[in-house]
Amino acid sequence: MTPKSQLEDVLPLAPLQQGLFFHALLDAEADVYTAQLVLDLEGPLDAGALKASAATLLRRHANLRAGFRQRKEGTPVQVVHREVKLPWEELDLSGGGDVEEILERERTTPFDMARPPLLRFVLIRTGEQRHKLVFTNHHILLDGWSTPVLTTELFALYLNRGSDAGLPRVTPYKNYLVWLTRQDRDAAQDAWRTALSGVDEPTLIAPGAGEATGGPERIRIELSAAVTSALTAQARAHGATLSTALQLAWGLVLGRLTGRDDVVFGGVVSGRPPELPGVEQMIGLFINTLPVRVRLRPADTVGQTLNRLQADQADLMSHHHVGMAEIQRLAGVGNLFDTITVLENYPFDPDAASTDLGGVRVTGGGGHDATHYPLALAAVPGETLSLRLDYRPDLFTADEAAMLAERLRRALELIATEPGTLLGRAGLLDDDERRTVVESFNDTSTDRIGPQTITERFAAQVASTPDAVAIRAEGISISYAELEARANRLAHRLIALGVGMETPVAMLLRRSPEVIVASLGILKAGGYYVPIHHSYPPERMAWVMAETGAPVLLTDTTMLDHAFEHGAQVLMVDGPCAGPATDPGLAVHPDQLAYEIFTSGSTGVPKGVGTSHRAVVGFATDTTVLVGSERVLMAAPHAFDASTYEMWTPLLSGGTVVVAPPGDLDADVLVRLVAAEKVTGAFLTTMLFNLIAARTPEAFRGMRALHTGGEAGSSRTMLAVADACPDTLVLHVYGPTETTTYVTSLPVRDQLTESGRAAPIGRPLDDTRAYVLDGNLLPVATGVAGELYIAGAGLARGYLNRRALTAERFVACPFGAPGERMYRTGDLVRWDSGGILEYLDRADFQVKVRGFRIELGEIETALTRHEDVAHAAVIAREDRPGDRRLVGYVVGADLDPAELRRYLGESLPEYMVPAVLVVLDGLPMNASGKLDRRALPAPDFAAAAVGRDPRGPEENALADLFAQVLGLERVGADDGFFDLGGDSILAIQLVTRARQAGLDISPRDVFTHQTVEALVAAVTAPEEARAEVGFETLLPIHPLGDRAPLFFFPPAVGLSWGYFIFPPLMGADQPIYGLQVPGYREGEAMAASIDELATSYIEHLKKVQPQGPYHLAGWSLGGEIAFEVACRLQAEGDEVGLLALIDSYHGQDLTMPESEILPDLLMGLGLDPDLLRGMEPDPEQAARTVLRILRERGDGLAAMDESTAIAAYQNYRNARTLAMGYRPGRYRGDMVFFTALGGRTPESATPQGNWGPHLDGRIEEYQIDAPHHQLMSPESAAEIAGVLTGALDKLR
Amino acid sequence: MTNPFEDADGTYLALINDEGQYSLWPGFAEIPAGWSVAHAEDTRQACLDHINENWTDMRPKSLIDATS
């Protein structure tokens, strides 16, 4: 007789079972889905009967005997075993012992999903006639609704001493699984698709949180009986269930927490289909977690929203059986949510079963149930609604969780007591939280006194210090009295020309003392100045003149070649100016305009911001801004409002303006000027700041204050400068033109901590207030993203002549004095708990690129004005970290990007012309028919650079720098810098780097010569540098940056040129050096051993970095050298940080076919190995071909004489000898290893097998899907760079 | 999230303060102190049109008074 099969049934999984099974597979060790029920039993217990009852339970319910497996093809199944042994344990702790410990042990011992039963019992005797029954099970077997059914049955069996005679037959769980298969899938999918349409992003409170590492913590709150009954009544009055009311409350909390008006979270439903007979008495897993979407329309009342939400839920009622995975696929935005709610309205109370169990009473019960979600809300209805919020302690502190729970309470109270409230007015912050963000963080009011106009303040200064130096420029000093006299003379001229109160006067001037004389003269005449940037194309200059109606244009002789249309009278300020030197004596009102500065406008034309004297005085006399106002550098263009700081802060406080030379400035000029003129205060754009900080952070040491800002700056760089200049107040500043120069500042030294994020923007200045508001104009809590609104001293009058636009952006302020306005910045920020603002993003389509504020709409409008452009979109891309650039996308017939860029240049300033224009067949749209900006492709920058290859070391070096600065892969020798998207700021970067590389060029050279070819021809590189470039032992691949350098060791060819691919991939502040073999330069012998190389290399790297930890990496043979260098460094007592081997193995049989040597050799030279495809295997022939290719390409190597060229091949062969003679020592530490997967065979060496015996540490292996010789291709290098950057970050 | 001032389908007010300055204002939000309704609840564009037509002098009233 064959034994009866152990298998009783094989069944599919219910939707939530699938989810839990998946979760268990994913993380078997930390599976949180273990539920526990603990019953306290008092009285004379018959343990044997209880055990028999538990066994009967198992026998009766097939689904409790299920194990879970995957079929071969991946489908999960539950396998029901005919018989399983009851896991039953009895413990006696009556003499002492920790019950909690047992409970904990039971909860944390994982179940093996494949081995049923996924449950176990422990009966603990805790005292005389006292027991605890601990029932622990995997959630996949049972849901919360099943627990009371199960316990009732257990007790019934106990009364029967374990026999089920007389008990009703079990309705098997299988019936439900069968029911599931009969449901209309299509209808359900349609319903869910409709319910989630328009949800274009998930609602995540802890994005990127990763898996939970332990169980959650829990907070409980309880509503009063009065509120509970009011809540129930209101829910009923709006046709809603208590569960829906709870969901609305949670939706509100989430909306306020994420700053969103459309949120999704999980809601747990009972999942028991009412049409299934006996469903109420079934045990098993029926519940399902389904998305609940809550849309919060500010103009709807709480009651209306409740009603609408209930209707939404009703539509989905018959589709509760669909699995979450399927729904997420339908929604198409990945994980929809990371918080869930559940209302535990179990069919009956477990305590009800505690009647008479033959003298035993159930006196209490407890349970444990958990989820993996960062936040899970459970509510237990009753006379008083009790709520528990489970939170992951790795993501929330207890205080934060408590705050959330309180907000939830307020949301529920709001629904219960004020259902007529508009959602837009339903704030959830308590009084303290609100006071903190609205008042405490804005405690900035001062009682500064004195005149409120620039003119009066300046006059007072002239009276008190007439002989003090007001201006220093090109070695000349101008006193306050002299400046006063010159400005007065000009004012009289202007008045004579008809300038009077609030007359706009345009200025087109190069940087010079005249800019200050002119600005002051205009103000003295009662007018306001309108600076025009000299980079504006004529069309834009003409537009500004027409827009402002300025009757006078002040300019100088250097600007004469800027011809543009206007009807103004022209006054040359660098000519002689006669007239009385006395003050014209006009009264100026503080609210009169001082200047109008134009910024980019979204509708296609710029907008002019009009700023009053009062706003300027308020800013210029701020206590923080005033620090270092003794001698302030004037370096920004007059048309940018940094000029407000540079001119008026010193001049209204008796200081000196140090005027930098005209034109674009490079770092060297600035550093020299700061030292020569003992500058005490300066504002530097992020770019200039970074450039100087990277090389000479101590250059600012003599300064009292250094301001930087304009775009997201690196906290690391700022801290480095603060460290290098201990007596300098380094300020990170923020502010739009509409609020006068800056409105917030952060003293870097005291308040900045190093982080990977951009530096925070700090606190509001004197008499300035910052409000972070949500979409309802309600203040958000600390830590929550909202839009920044600014009120107080610096507010501009508005956009001149743009009334509607002004009323949209300068809006009524609900927080300040009656009738006050606030400016809506469009910047997304959040408060930290200490009242420091962190900048996050833009809320709209305004971007900052290289410090320039740009409305993308303005460029798009300009593009579509071209007759051939049908559609256009412009975005700022940051495809390389730290390199933000404009990219335009155009649709139309026969478009020529180069021609379009020229066209744009006619109407837009050069910084607004996108670096690259991409022609598309159509713009990508999202489901709702809107432009999907995220789907716009990354441009092929390289396509624009089509010129001839550079020749010779200088051209090659400069072309590399062109490419680095422009973010291109390659630049041809005759490609124009500006045609490839270069601009004046990039030109300065180019100059700075070129000088470091020994090419002495100036910004002017770049403008004049533009191409690599012309630049190299124009400048003569020093003779010795020319001989060196490319073959020096220590190759400065990217010598810039403030991190510890990374040293690369050469592959077999002996040159480290291939590593030039890394600088753009690893960020501008990661210095990279390559080491190279001797033997390329005349008279040098080839290396005799790796030992000898290591000795020489250690000397070189100590010159760059005197002390460890050293970071070392090498590809191919370079890995072995890196290993040897690492061992030697350790032996000498130095520390090694990173050791990374890129597909290197020692002791290999190196007699590989010659055909494989050549690709290797070419890659080592930074060339494309495919050039050799189909090449003959004869080595002599091959060597000659390589040389021919090098010649034809006009590559760096082509500049060598033939004997040196052959050296490349000889070095390559020599390297194989070196490798064969190498016996590795022993390295103490971990190793990062990159394995090339291409061409591997089962016999191929493994990193562990090859290096393991030589290592006291771990090998962290990364596999790269490419053959060995392709590892420096852009794709592979990008992967390698990512790992290296991550590893270096970890070491910092 | 849509900025409350940028909801093309929302209803808005035009508010005015004592300085004669205008503010667009979302219909759902409470009107801040010191502001009164210059144009009652309407479409966004209608409110902006009203402001364009009526805000003839962008100087604050106190400045106009002090300098006229």
Kindly determine whether residue B58 and residue A502, on different chains, have CB atoms separated by under 8 Å: no
- Which residues on chain A are in Cβ contact (under 8 Å) with B26? 298-299, 424, 777
More confident residue, A946 or A354: A946
Instruction: Assess whether pLDDT exceeds 90 at residue A558.
Output: no
What whole-number percentage of chain A has pLDDT above 70?
86
- Which residues on chain A are in Cβ contact (under 8 Å) with B61? none
Residue A416 main-chain phi, psi, to 5 deg = -70, -35
Read off the pLDDT of residues A951-997 as tens digits, 9 standing for 90 and up: 888 888 889 888 888 877 788 887 777 667 666 557 767 877 887 77
Burial class (CB in 10 A: 0-12, 13-18, 19+), A682: buried
CA distance A1128 to A703: 44
B58 → closest Cβ in A806, A818, A819: A806
Nearest Cα of chain B lies from the Cα of A256 at a distance, in angstroms, of: 11
Read off the pLDDT of residues A789-808 as tens digits, 9 standing for 90 and up: 999 999 999 999 999 999 99
What whole-number percentage of chain A has pLDDT above 90?
42
Three-state DSSP string of A616-674: HHHHHCCCCCCCCCCEEEECCCCCCCHHHHHHHHHHCCCCEEEECCCCCCCHHHHHHHH
Interface test with B, best of A421, A780, A821, A930 (most B CBs within 10 A): A821
Nearest Cα of chain B lies from the Cα of A167 at a distance, in angstroms, of: 57
Three-state DSSP string of A944-961: HCCCCCCCHHHHHHHHHH
- Which residues on chain B are in Cβ contact (under 8 Å) with A807? 14, 22-24, 48, 51, 55
CA distance A446 to A768: 10
- Which residues on chain A are in Cβ contact (under 8 Å) with B4? 298, 424, 775-777
Lowest mean pLDDT among A247-251, A764-768, A882-886: A882-886
| Overall average pLDDT of the A689-696 stretch | 81
More confident residue, A211 or A463: A463
B22 → closest Cβ in A259, A775, A803: A803
Is residue A917 a contact partner of residue A888, using CB atoms and an 8 Å limit?
yes
Q: How many Cβ pairs closer than 8 A exist between chain A and B?
A: 121
The verdict on B16 touching A (C-beta cutoff 8 Å) is no
User: Amino acid letter at A872?
Assistant: A
Nearest Cα of chain B lies from the Cα of A819 at a distance, in angstroms, of: 4
Query: What one-character-per-residue DSSP string does A184-209 give?
Result: -HHHHHHHHHHHTTT--S-B-SSTT-
A747, A749, A693, A695: which is closest to A721 by C-alpha? A693
Nearest Cα of chain B lies from the Cα of A363 at a distance, in angstroms, of: 51
Q: In A544-590, at which residue ranges do the beta strands (DSSP E only) sit? A: 552-555, 569-572
Query: What one-character-per-residue DSSP string does A227-264 give?
Result: HHHHHHHHHHHTT--HHHHHHHHHHHHHHHHHT-SEEE
pLDDT of residue A496: 94
Nearest Cα of chain B lies from the Cα of A804 at a distance, in angstroms, of: 5
CA distance A822 to A83: 74
Q: How many CB atoms lie within 10 A of CB A75?
A: 11
Lowest mean pLDDT among A394-403, A657-666, A1004-1013, A1187-1196: A1187-1196
Instruction: Assess whether pLDDT exceeds 50 at residue A1195.
Output: no
Strands A119-127, A631-634: parallel, antiparallel or unpaired by DSSP?
A: unpaired
Kindly determine whether residue B58 and residue A803, on different chains, have CB atoms separated by under 8 Å: yes
Cβ-based neighbours of A429, under 8 Å, separated by 6 or more: A407, A437, A778, A779, A780, A781
Q: How many CB atoms lie within 10 A of CB A360?
A: 21
Q: Find the helix packing angle between A242-258 and A225-237, rounded to 10°.
A: 100
Residue A13 main-chain phi, psi, to 5 deg = -105, 145
B1 → closest Cβ in A261, A591, A808: A261
Instruction: Assess whether pLDDT exceeds 60 at residue A1071.
Output: yes
Interface test with A, best of B37, B53, B63 (most A CBs within 10 A): B63
A1049 falls in which pLDDT band (50, 70, 90)?
very high
pLDDT of residue A1059: 81
Kindly determine whether residue A425 and residue B28, on different chains, have CB atoms separated by under 8 Å: yes
Q: Which two structure tokens, joined as six digits, stand for A772?
A: 């972070």
The verdict on B23 touching A (C-beta cutoff 8 Å) is yes
Q: Is the entire prediction scored with pTM above 0.90? A: no
Name residue A707's beta-bridge partners.
A683, A731
Helix (H) or strand (E) holding A803: helix A803-809
B60 → closest Cβ in A591, A809, A843: A591
The verdict on B67 touching A (C-beta cutoff 8 Å) is yes
- Which residues on chain A are in Cβ contact (under 8 Å) with B17? 812, 819-821
Instruction: Assess whether pLDDT exceeds 70 at residue A1290.
Output: yes
ipTM surpasses cut 0.90: yes
Nearest Cα of chain A lies from the Cα of B61 at a distance, in angstroms, of: 10
- Which residues on chain A are in Cβ contact (under 8 Å) with B59? 502, 591, 797
Read off the pLDDT of residues A1242-1280 as tens digits, 9 standing for 90 and up: 777 888 888 988 988 889 888 888 888 778 777 788 889
pLDDT of residue A983: 61
- The alpha carbon torsion through A1120, A1126, A1130, A1136 (nearest 10 deg) reads -150
CA distance B23 to B35: 9
Instruction: Assess whether pLDDT exceeds 50 at residue A1179.
Output: no
